[in-house]
Amino acid sequence: MTQPGPPEAAVLLLHGGRETGLGVPPPGPFNLPAVRMRPFARVLRGALPREVLVRAVRYGHRGWNGDRADPLHDAVRALDVLRRTAGEIPVVLLGHSMGGRAALAAAGHPLVRGVVGLAPWCPPGDRTGQLAGRDVVLVHGTDDRVTNPADSRALTERARKGGARTCLVTVPGGDHAMLRRAGAWHRLTAALVAGLLDRAPLPGPVAEALRLPPGATADEGTADLDRVLRPGGPG
């Protein structure tokens, strides 16, 4: 069997967590936020060519922990290791909930080309300057009761004004755990990541939103999941 060569691109997965928690995440199947990301990893490995590395970021602590921002530093360390081992390859950060916040915060790293945030935690006070020049696609269910879809909407507009290319995809009836219409979440994520890494065309409505000028409104930069995944689109 031919051994795969060095990666030409990578996807780093960042799972969810807690607002506070200094303990180490539980191992294996007991770490439910990490378990939820496994189907995304499987779908990505099936959708992307072998030269694209798909890897989960390991956290040292369960929570964000205020100004410590522990998962942000875990993400940056993982990016630094990847840079040393694989060189200057393009990376997409894929984060859910707290992991989405970490992915957005780490986007200023030189390797990062784009961010896909799934039901991300986007506090209104978080900075967005590090997103300038990046592609940022947030996906949020309308029935999420853990993180606020309105905060994702506001962040995409704020980041676009600061020089990012952004889009919000809304999932009608979608919940925080992404269990309702799980297959659609998985297919959409694979299409977004492949598109941001130039391995496949981006879904049309997402590509249109990413081309919007800085002054575009949140409404202009928002697409409905059913429109993105309509017949003839991805999945």
The predicted pLDDT at position 3 comes to 53
> Which phi and psi (to 5°) does residue 126 adopt?
-65, 140
The predicted pLDDT at position 104 comes to 98
- Give the other-Cβ count within 10 Å of 123's Cβ: 12
The predicted pLDDT at position 106 comes to 98
- Interacting residues of 172 by C-beta distance below 8 A, sequence separation 6+: 141, 142, 224, 225, 226
- Give pLDDT < 70 ranges for the chain: 1-4, 231-235
The predicted pLDDT at position 77 comes to 98
Residue 3 lies in a domain: no
Residue 170 sits in a domain of what CATH number?
3.40.50.1820
Residue 234 lies in a domain: no
pLDDT in tens, 190-215: 999 999 999 999 999 999 999 999 99
What's the domain range around 37? 9-228
The predicted pLDDT at position 176 comes to 98
The predicted pLDDT at position 230 comes to 79
The predicted pLDDT at position 6 comes to 86
Write the Ramachandran bin of 141: left for phi over 0, alpha for psi from -120 to 50, otherwise beta.
Answer: beta
The predicted pLDDT at position 235 comes to 40
- Interacting residues of 75 by C-beta distance below 8 A, sequence separation 6+: 12, 14, 57, 93, 102, 103, 105, 106
> Which phi and psi (to 5°) does residue 49 adopt?
-65, 160
The predicted pLDDT at position 157 comes to 97
The predicted pLDDT at position 173 comes to 95
Residue 173 lies in a domain: yes
Structurally, how many domains does the chain consist of? Answer: 1
The predicted pLDDT at position 231 comes to 60
Q: First CA to last CA across the chain, in angstroms?
A: 30
Write the Ramachandran bin of 189: left for phi over 0, alpha for psi from -120 to 50, otherwise beta.
Answer: alpha
Residue 68 lies in a domain: yes
Alpha-carbon distance of 77 to 173, in angstroms, equals: 36
- Give the other-Cβ count within 10 Å of 60's Cβ: 13
Helix 32-47 × helix 98-105 angle, to 10°: 60
